Amino acid sequence: MFDLIIEGGELIDGTGTARVRADLGVSRGKILSIGDLSAARAHERVSAQGRIVAPGFIDVHTHDDRLLLTPAAGAHPKLSQGVTTVVAGNCGVSLAPLETTNPPPPLDILGTDGWIYPDFAAYLDALDASPLAVNVACLVGHSTLRVKYMADLERPATRAESAGMAAELARALAAGAIGLSTGLYYPPAKAATAEEVIAVGAQLKAAGGIVAMHIRDEGDAIDEALREALHIGRELGVATVISHHKLVGTANHGRSVQTLAMLEQAARGQAVCFDCYPYNASSTMLLPSRVKQSSDVLVTWSGAEPGVAGRSLKELARERNQTEEEVARALQPAGAIYFAMSEDDVSRILGHPMAMIGSDGLAHDVRPHPRLWGTFPRVLGHYVREKKLFPLEAAIYKMTGLSARRFGLAGRGTLAPGHHADIVIFDEHRVAANASYEHPTEVSSGIAAVFVNGRLACRDGVSVNVDAGRVLRRQGALA
């Protein structure tokens, strides 16, 4: 007797292989059988006739650390687009281990009032005790460690400071963190050297951890920044993820041909991959230095002037008879969306066989980038159905099986007997992202049902269960 049978759908199993028409049987939160289950008994049967049945999507690049602990009301930004698992703690920013009431930018992308966890185990325990809408695997942020262990962030760490951070990371790994993330681009870690990161991450290999890197530069100096990140990964001897790979600034449009070649070459000698999102605009803290690289900048939030959220920096500058840089400085602390990327580069990177999908959405922005709500349906609707950049099976693999393998999420990411029943049912002809820069929190179309660990969590974009997720603790070495 099955708890649930999903019948009559086109199964795309997350391995990249062709779809098959089959039924899928679930018991006790796991997939028990795939095939013709028309004669089998079940407590519940769900028809997927005319729809795709796939593994729940894995968002490998999120800043959901605090969102996970926030009681869900109404539609959920991840469940509503078919996501069943997120990787939190990216770009060097994790909510733990740090106690503070004044987190420096960009740590404040997670808000300013949730920094209450003295160690990583306390944060994971809080997640365990909370209703979780999705599964979560957690990285430890290098910048968070720096803020905890260093009074002066504008210099490299001393040997003692590096040792303190390394010991803290080791404790976090023992508690269940899956690895380390860096954000060498941002002020709290800009002064850090490669040697510092290597020293802090010394225990990653023995623990079977991973390093995910927001590299030092994604513009003019991207070649050097990639070489540094690859060097760190080699020295640590662990799988390396280049976070949200992209090229910013008009002068760098088209250079993805070279950067992808660099990554392909590196992959011949070390474990490396990258994630990306399907938009030609990025979003992070409002940095005056980024303004000239961008054709336009939208303010997502401002501590100094909350009312300007959603406004164009160019328009504000004209109204105030100031330069955009002057306005950006006056709005601090603040966040922004930067239009500085080439669609050709976005498509080339997205279509590369090494690419995984990550939203990089900022849940606490007043007017967030639409990628928070629309990343996965945008891939399926715009890039698969409309642009035909790659087959649907390849897209699903980038969102599921590849991600699970790279991040060591055992039993997730593929539809197979014995695997956890994280499942999404969607209409390949209707699926689409409705979130836009003007209306960034619109719910996507075409996602019929989402199951998390075998429990129905979302139907037609509406949350019906926000307590089916689990904390996914590190399970050993990554493939």
Q: Which residue has the tokens 């623990």?
A: 207
pLDDT digits 0-9 by tens, 142-183: 999 999 999 999 999 999 999 999 999 999 999 999 999 999
Phi, psi of 142 (to 5 degrees): -60, -40
Give me the pLDDT at residue 479, please.
32
Report the alpha-carbon distance of residue 171 to residue 207 in Å, rounded.
11
Write the DSSP assignment of 174-195 as a string of letters.
HHT--EEEEETTSGGGTT--HH
- With a pLDDT cut of 70, the percent of the chain lying above it is 99
Report the alpha-carbon distance of residue 7 to residue 25 in Å, rounded.
8
What residue ranges of the chain are covered by domains with CATH 3.30.1490.130? 288-336
Encode burial over 88-102: b for 16+ CB neighbours within 10 A, e otherwise: bbbbbbbbbbbeeee
Q: Are 150 and 157 in contact (CB under 8 A)?
A: yes
Beta strand pairing status for 423-426 and 355-357? unpaired
Report the alpha-carbon distance of residue 367 to residue 299 in Å, rounded.
8
Q: Are 281 and 369 in contact (CB under 8 A)?
A: yes
Mean pLDDT of 372-400: 98
Report the alpha-carbon distance of residue 215 to residue 212 in Å, rounded.
9
**Adjacent-strand bridge partners of 138:** 88
Give me the pLDDT at residue 264, please.
98
Give me the pLDDT at residue 238, please.
98
pLDDT digits 0-9 by tens, 304-341: 999 999 999 999 999 999 999 999 999 999 999 999 99
Domain 288-336 carries which CATH code?
Answer: 3.30.1490.130
Give me the pLDDT at residue 474, please.
87
Q: How many CA atoms lie within 13 A of 112 on its CB side?
A: 8
Tokens representing 244 are 């949200």
Q: Which of 438, 435, 246, 273 is nearest to 343 (CA)?
A: 246
Question: pLDDT tier at 227 (50, 70, 90 boundaries)?
Answer: very high
For the segment(s) 56-287+337-410, the CATH number from 3.30.9.10, 3.20.20.140, 3.40.50.2300, 3.40.50.20 is 3.20.20.140
Give me the pLDDT at residue 478, please.
35
Q: How many CB atoms are located within 10 Å of the residue 142 CB?
A: 30
Mean pLDDT of 123-151: 98
Q: Are 64 and 217 in contact (CB under 8 A)?
A: no
Tell me the pTM.
0.97
Give me the pLDDT at residue 71, please.
79
Report the alpha-carbon distance of residue 196 to residue 298 in Å, rounded.
35
Question: pLDDT tier at 74 (50, 70, 90 boundaries)?
Answer: confident
Phi, psi of 319 (to 5 degrees): -60, -35
Give me the pLDDT at residue 73, please.
74
Report the alpha-carbon distance of residue 421 to residue 84 in Å, rounded.
10
Helix axes 256-267, 222-236, angle to 10 degrees: 10
pLDDT at 477 over 60: no
E strand or H helix at 374? helix 371-378
Give me the pLDDT at residue 12, please.
98
Write the DSSP assignment of 324-345 as a string of letters.
HHHHHHHT-SEEEEEE---HHH
Phi, psi of 213 (to 5 degrees): -125, 120
What residue ranges of the chain are covered by domains with CATH 3.20.20.140? 56-287+337-410
Report the alpha-carbon distance of residue 428 to residue 285 in Å, rounded.
35
- What's the mean per-residue pLDDT of the chain? 97
Give me the pLDDT at residue 217, please.
98
